[in-house]
Structure 1
Amino acid sequence: MRVKDYLLKNKWKSLLAFLAKIFEALLELLIPLVVARLINDGLNANNMTEVWRNGGLLILLPLIGYVSALYCQWQASNASQQVGTELRSALFHKVQSVDMSQLDQFGKGSIIHRITNDTQNLQLAIALILRLGSRLPILLIGSIVMAFNVSPKMAPIFIITGLVIGGLLVFVTLKTNQQNKSVQTNTERIAQKSRENLNGVRDIRAFSNQQAEIKAFTSHNQQTFYQQIKMGSLQSIANPISLLLINLSISLILYLGAQQISSGYLLQGDVVALVNYMNIILLALNVLVNILMAFTKGITAIGRLDEILAIQPTHLTEKRIESLSSPITIEAKDLGFAYGQYLALSDLNFTINPYDFFAIIGGTGAGKSTLVQLLMGFVSPTEGMLSINDSSITSYDRETLRDKLAFVPQENRLFQGTLRENLVMGNENCSDDFIWHCLEVAQAKDFIVQDERGLDQPVLALGRNFSGGQKQRLTIARALIAEPDVLILDDATSALDFATEKQLLQELKEMPITMILITQRVNSIRNADRILVLDHGKQVGLGQHQDLLDSSTVYQEIYALQNKEGNNE
């Protein structure tokens, strides 16, 4: 679905709001005629019956218009809020369902900006168009028609004024529409820069790099400022010029109207009606400028939101396998993956049998994390085959895959709420006994029981009330509670001391699961059933610890370096 589909879903609410506002506009067009009749047939003729009749209409017509406007406001608010709510939900669902590589094309800051700011801009545009935009054509065209009805000789003034101002507004709209996309993009960059600095504030201060960051932020900010000034300057000319043209037109109406009154072609009330119609045009055009600004932002927002909604997951084929039986065997044949032109992995061949302790080791940039993303189905292979139980990983339904594989990433994420809510994310129906058992296996029980609230103790945003090592153990416990067949630990024990890590791995190895451990510590994987050694995206070793010490140069270098560091300590 695209943005237009969500707009069409709310078409009846929008139509009712549109019709209600049109009805109010038609009533507003009648008021100058009633005023003219009040003056011509009532006051000038000293006819109190006409005065009372037309005076009553001047009370009744605005009252009916007010009720109609209220109904329009209610329906317009309902429609705009409904579209915004549905779009935010759809965008969030899309972000949860597509591949990580597809999200990386936009960046986290850009996606957040689109879900929040762009959706809000679209909501505002919908509301303004329904509340005010629907009545503008009626007021503008209707005022010209009614003016022609009052005095055909005066009508050309309205037509010429309307065409000149309309042409000016079209020019301003086209120009600002081009500039608004650049403003939105730069605003997005400011949001990304702010987010980056807030996340890395400790590193920035540790290296006293505040001035460089301030300079970079100021550059983005100034660029946005100049673009907004340029766009605002162009928009600002619309109102003064429109006001000047309207006032000149009113002066011309009064001048020519006085002559026609003297000649007997017009009555005083007719001139008052013509001036009122010109003022209606003035007010309508002033509103039109604001609507065009909101419309420009709304159109830009639709394009940016559609870019997210148009993404289709590439890691799953159209025909999806919805069942995955245990035990699980994972096999890679000539497996490779490339980020664009950059080849991150190539020619990987290995088999992970059920209940294996399979380790992956390599230096920075070896391709370990990329391999994890392939194993979890976050990205699809660009070369070779990665299969689970003899079927390509891309052929499985996403939920089916996630039910069998649990992943503990390098960055340990805890969410604001309670500890229990964080732990049962993958298995909400588990018992407390099972939760405590998993906490014990993950070496997390000891520090949890120290708080009398136990599983109901609060977790601050990003888990700030827990240390790095505690968060690692809690996320491992969370993965175990999901009862996976395969547990993937991506450097998830790096913050643990050697004794705690050794006990943890021993406990995990005794569980009936397949464990895949990605690490840089040789001591962590001495007892692994098989170890895959990576170097610059290539497989340079596969076997057990002792075998690799005899056959793999890269593994020997890692082992020697770490043993040397350990001896020096």
Structure 2
Amino acid sequence: MARFSILLPYLRPHRRSLSIAFGLMLCEALVELSYPLFMLQLIDRGVLTHDQRQVLLWGSSMVILALFSFACGITSTFYAADGGQSFARDLRAALFSRLAFAPLAAFQRLSTASLLTRLTSDTNQLQNAVFMCVRLYLRAPLIILGAVVLALAVDSTLAAVLALATPLIGFALSWTLGRGLRLFRLAQEQLDRLTSLLRENFNGMQLIRAYGRGEHEQLRFIGAAEALRRRATQAMQLSEMVVPALILLLNLCTLAILWGGSRRIMNHGISPGEVVAILNYTARIIGEFAFLSMILTNLSMARSALGRVSEVLDGETEAGLEEPPQRQPCAAPAVTSTHLGFAYPGQGQQVLRNVSFAVQPGHTAVILGATGSGKTSLLQLLARLHDTDEGQLCFDGQDIQGVPLATLRQRIGYVTQAPMLVSGSIADNLRWGKRDATLAELAEAAKKAQIHELILSLPDGYDTVLQAHGGNLSGGQKQRLCVARALLRQPDLLLLDDCTSALDAHTEAALLNVINGLPCTTLLVTQKISAARRADTVLLLEGGQLTAQGTHAELLEKSTVYRQIVESQSRNAGVALSA
């Protein structure tokens, strides 16, 4: 129940629809419970006495009740569907919002496949549980309890067998629920693994074909699917095995009632109508218990889904994201660090250790280093996608952790290593940098990023719709669009993570000339010495440590590693030219 309370904020706005659905369901259940009593009167007063008037009276009453019950059921379904779907919409929005504003470390603790499952199938499971709860889940125990009570009211001796059997059946179902919850949770975890494998294969289909790994991946998929089958089968077998046992037990109760009822009818101790009424209640209990087993199976799945959804809703969010009313004019900041240290959550080894450097306002700093040296991590710390563990990182003379996140990120333009484009037009993607940008501003940013002419050559220009992940663009085109998006922001601090790797030498040179002339502080991660030559300062990272800082000329003199990088790239360029 404590975990269920986390859903209350998303249920309260729709309590009117859900309450109406629940109230109409109660009316429907009460009509159903009254049916055997009407049947008792029909048999004893009409059929046995051959009184047509009584038959018509009680028969027509049952028809009217049936129509009323039908109307209640249909209307209840409409309101329950509206409340359930509205609840699911709000819950999905809350989950997405929680993930969108979660710290990057918290976001990365869960796999993409698991997150997708929580926002889709888990939410659907909870929506179905809300709908079924007000429509059917509460109806079954109500009818079972009501049937037992009314059967005892008709004849306590004959209905005693129902009163004894019902608690035993309830205990068996509750035990099934407890066991089923664990098994369904394991099955859901296996589904996450299968979904993750599918996503991995779909994204890497070209590589799978190029390396002839189709058969190997097929075997991996079959193995994961078989593991899911085993888990799901165990859960379903447990939940379904109880149904035949319940039906057998209740059928034995029916036989006992028939046997005892027939003896008492012959002794004139009970009327045939009363026996029929108790049998009718027994039949309803059998049906509801069979249905209740399915309900408990669904509830087991819903409880598992609730635990997974709660894990997201209970997660932390970044503080200081309240958007300022308006961006204030600022100047290019100085960026400095003192004995900076950082390790990703859950990893003991630091990716940055004792890093100290200074970049003056308006200067361009190039960050060089081998793969895994901490270049991308340093940019992520500057964007506060992570927080430092040791030392101090300062933005414009202030500890970066003291700058409100919204203010900080409003002043930053960030281009990630892997170009990220969303579905929509080119203009839509560029306006991520500035939501209200005019077409002239889009064109100006695109010109600086050396992509304007290409955009104009497209049939719809800036209204050209991009395929998923920019699939109708080359790698270099995607990189330039991402740079244009960052430049449209007119940032005070520009962070570029290896965003020129797919550009030809001429385009890269033109882009770097533009970047060097911008009135902002720029940190550029790259592997190219051509960019380092143009920079005001070069930061050389090795194994997470800053081993050298200075201009290109200064590092040529004092850094053996930097000189080796320059000689290596010059030698390769010479080979390329001679070839």
Q: C-alpha distance in 2, partners of 1:547/1:50?
A: 111
Structure 2 residue 483 is matched with structure 1 residue 476: yes
The within-5 A match list for 1:492-503 is: 492-503=499-510
Query: Does the 8 Å contact 1:331/1:386 carry over to 2?
Result: yes
Structure 2 residue 29 is matched with structure 1 residue 25: yes
Q: C-alpha distance in 1, partners of 2:328/2:230?
A: 57
Q: C-alpha distance in 2, partners of 1:426/1:289?
A: 54
Structure 2 residue 69 is matched with structure 1 residue 75: no
Letter in 2 for 1:528: A
Aligned to 2:407: 400
C-alpha spacing 1:318/1:450, structure 2 compared with 1 (3 Å): closer
Aligned to 2:422: 415
**SS at the partner of 1:542?**
strand
Query: Does the 8 Å contact 2:479/2:499 carry over to 1?
Result: yes
C-alpha spacing 1:301/1:4, structure 2 compared with 1 (3 Å): farther
Q: C-alpha distance in 1, partners of 2:543/2:212?
A: 33
C-alpha spacing 1:421/1:541, structure 2 compared with 1 (3 Å): same
The within-5 A match list for 1:301-316 is: 301-313=305-317, 316=319
C-alpha spacing 1:202/1:319, structure 2 compared with 1 (3 Å): closer
- Following superposition, the deviation at residue 271 of structure 1 comes to 1.4
Query: 267, 274, 277: which is aligned to 1:270?
Result: 274
Q: C-alpha distance in 1, partners of 2:115/2:404?
A: 25
Query: Does the 8 Å contact 1:20/1:69 carry over to 2?
Result: yes
Aligned to 2:252: 248
Query: 100, 105, 112: which is aligned to 2:109?
Result: 105
- Following superposition, the deviation at residue 324 of structure 1 comes to 7.1
Letter in 2 for 1:512: P
Letter in 1 for 2:453: D
Aligned to 1:6: 10
Aligned to 2:49: 45
Structure 2 residue 343 is matched with structure 1 residue 338: yes
Aligned to 1:563: 570
**Alignment length, in residue pairs?**
568
Aligned to 2:511: 504
Letter in 2 for 1:80: G
Q: C-alpha distance in 2, partners of 1:324/1:209?
A: 55
Query: 15, 19, 40: which is aligned to 2:19?
Result: 15
C-alpha spacing 1:319/1:485, structure 2 compared with 1 (3 Å): closer
- Structure 1 vs Structure 2 CA RMSD: 1.9
Query: Does the 8 Å contact 2:159/2:278 carry over to 1?
Result: no
Query: 538, 545, 549: which is aligned to 2:545?
Result: 538
Superposed CA offset, 1:200-228 (max 9, x none): 22222222222332222222221111111
**SS at the partner of 1:343?**
coil
Letter in 2 for 1:368: K
Query: 472, 477, 491: which is aligned to 1:465?
Result: 472
Q: Which is worse superposed, 286-295 or 535-544?
A: 286-295
- Following superposition, the deviation at residue 12 of structure 1 comes to 4.4
Query: Does the 8 Å contact 2:320/2:406 carry over to 1?
Result: no
Structure 2 residue 298 is matched with structure 1 residue 294: yes
Structure 2 residue 554 is matched with structure 1 residue 547: yes
Letter in 2 for 1:373: Q
The within-5 A match list for 1:158-307 is: 158-307=162-311
- Following superposition, the deviation at residue 8 of structure 1 comes to 4.3
Q: C-alpha distance in 1, partners of 2:162/2:253?
A: 8
Q: Which is worse superposed, 410-419 or 532-541?
A: 410-419
- Following superposition, the deviation at residue 6 of structure 1 comes to 2.2
**SS at the partner of 1:526?**
helix
**SS at the partner of 2:478?**
helix
Structure 2 residue 395 is matched with structure 1 residue 388: yes
Q: TM-score, normalised by structure 2?
A: 0.94
Query: Does the 8 Å contact 1:317/1:395 carry over to 2?
Result: no
- Following superposition, the deviation at residue 325 of structure 1 comes to 5.9
Q: Which is worse superposed, 195-204 or 374-383?
A: 195-204
Structure 2 residue 369 is matched with structure 1 residue 371: no
C-alpha spacing 1:18/1:411, structure 2 compared with 1 (3 Å): same
Q: C-alpha distance in 2, partners of 1:138/1:222?
A: 40
Aligned to 1:520: 527
C-alpha spacing 1:411/1:311, structure 2 compared with 1 (3 Å): same
Q: C-alpha distance in 2, partners of 1:249/1:326?
A: 83
Q: C-alpha distance in 2, partners of 1:4/1:182?
A: 26
Superposed CA offset, 1:212-248 (max 9, x none): 3222222222111111111111112122112212222
Query: Does the 8 Å contact 1:143/1:277 carry over to 2?
Result: yes
Q: Name structure 2 gaps, 5 residues minimum.
A: none
Letter in 2 for 1:446: E
C-alpha spacing 1:455/1:325, structure 2 compared with 1 (3 Å): closer
Q: C-alpha distance in 2, partners of 1:317/1:433?
A: 32
**SS at the partner of 2:511?**
helix
Letter in 2 for 1:86: D
- Following superposition, the deviation at residue 319 of structure 1 comes to 11
- Following superposition, the deviation at residue 320 of structure 1 comes to 11
Query: Does the 8 Å contact 1:329/1:353 carry over to 2?
Result: yes
Q: C-alpha distance in 1, partners of 2:324/2:105?
A: 23
Superposed CA offset, 1:415-449 (max 9, x none): 22211111112212222122112111111122112
Letter in 2 for 1:331: T
Letter in 1 for 2:415: V
Letter in 1 for 2:334: T
**SS at the partner of 1:342?**
coil
Q: C-alpha distance in 2, partners of 1:433/1:320?
A: 26
- Following superposition, the deviation at residue 567 of structure 1 comes to 1.9
Q: C-alpha distance in 2, partners of 1:536/1:124?
A: 52
- Following superposition, the deviation at residue 318 of structure 1 comes to 10
Letter in 2 for 1:543: G
Query: 83, 86, 96: which is aligned to 2:90?
Result: 86
Superposed CA offset, 1:161-214 (max 9, x none): 212221221121111111111111110011111111111222222222223322
- Following superposition, the deviation at residue 132 of structure 1 comes to 0.5
Q: Which is worse superposed, 83-92 or 390-399?
A: 390-399
Aligned to 1:64: 68
Aligned to 1:444: 451
Q: C-alpha distance in 1, partners of 2:190/2:202?
A: 18
Q: C-alpha distance in 2, partners of 1:157/1:7?
A: 40
Query: Does the 8 Å contact 2:126/2:302 carry over to 1?
Result: yes
Superposed CA offset, 1:96-124 (max 9, x none): 11122211111211111111111111111
Superposed CA offset, 1:476-514 (max 9, x none): 111111221222110001000111101110012122222
Q: TM-score, normalised by structure 1?
A: 0.96
Percent sequence identity over matched residues? Answer: 30
Q: Name structure 1 gaps, 5 residues minimum.
A: none
C-alpha spacing 1:426/1:318, structure 2 compared with 1 (3 Å): closer
C-alpha spacing 1:114/1:169, structure 2 compared with 1 (3 Å): same
Q: C-alpha distance in 2, partners of 1:101/1:566?
A: 40
The within-5 A match list for 1:320-359 is: 326-327=330-331, 328-339=333-344, 340-359=347-366
- Following superposition, the deviation at residue 331 of structure 1 comes to 1.8
**SS at the partner of 1:237?**
helix
Query: Does the 8 Å contact 1:321/1:396 carry over to 2?
Result: no
Query: Does the 8 Å contact 1:129/1:291 carry over to 2?
Result: no
Query: Does the 8 Å contact 1:366/1:537 carry over to 2?
Result: yes
